[in-house]
Structure 1
Amino acid sequence: MMGIVGLGRGSLSFISQIGPSFGGRRFSHCLVPYYTDFLIPSVMSFGSGSEVVGDDVVSTPLFDNGFSPNYYVTLQGFSVRDTYLSFNSSSKGNTFIDSRTTLTKLPQNFHDQLVNCNTPNFNL
């Protein structure tokens, strides 16, 4: 059986409902690399003490835009094979990540650069 865990900022999300009992609306989700042995788990922690620290830990700050239940991150760019495409934006929290949405919306010029990365003669 599979399920869905809502971690949004809305009052009905799982994290909002358990927050008062677990030290606040906090969570962390450590994702192992895609090609890691499937027996090594990705870990999710809730409440106080869920912050992950360590020498090899990389965290992505989440931003609140003040009116949306989504979590916003600052997109700096994409890597396609060995090519890095910079996303030129001076604003923090310029993108939100939604793991259930199937569409992607990007500025046209940046989208065109990504599409062109798949051509055999691609050069930046």
Structure 2
Amino acid sequence: MEAPSTDDLSATPQLPMDGAEWVELFVREMTSASNMDDARARASRAWKFWRSLSENMMLKEQVQALIQENAILKRAVSIQHERQKEFGDRNQELQHLKQLVSQYQEQLRALEVELANS
């Protein structure tokens, strides 16, 4: 009696985690094949599943890297925003001080004129 052919390896109760488990799964699939065509079909499904899994793992790693880069960029933007705010505050303070200097210069001129007229 032959083992039933699986249409999809993802129907496997627990997916292999390491190379040895993948080898065991592949051997089981091949020994369950009823003929060469069935073995080819099983090998093809195993290859497609493995390739899909590999691509998914690669994409997951890329997403994790992008998430880390995004966090770094968010922090950089936050720091830049704080610096911009500090610059704005200092610029306002500078403008206020320039205005005070201008007022004091006018007062000084007025006092000099007053002193010259006395």
Normalization by structure 2: what TM-score? 0.17
Q: Which protein is richer in strand relative to its size?
A: 1
Normalization by structure 1: what TM-score? 0.16
Q: Which protein is richer in helix relative to its size?
A: 2
Q: Which has the higher contact order (CA 8 A, sep 6+)?
A: 2
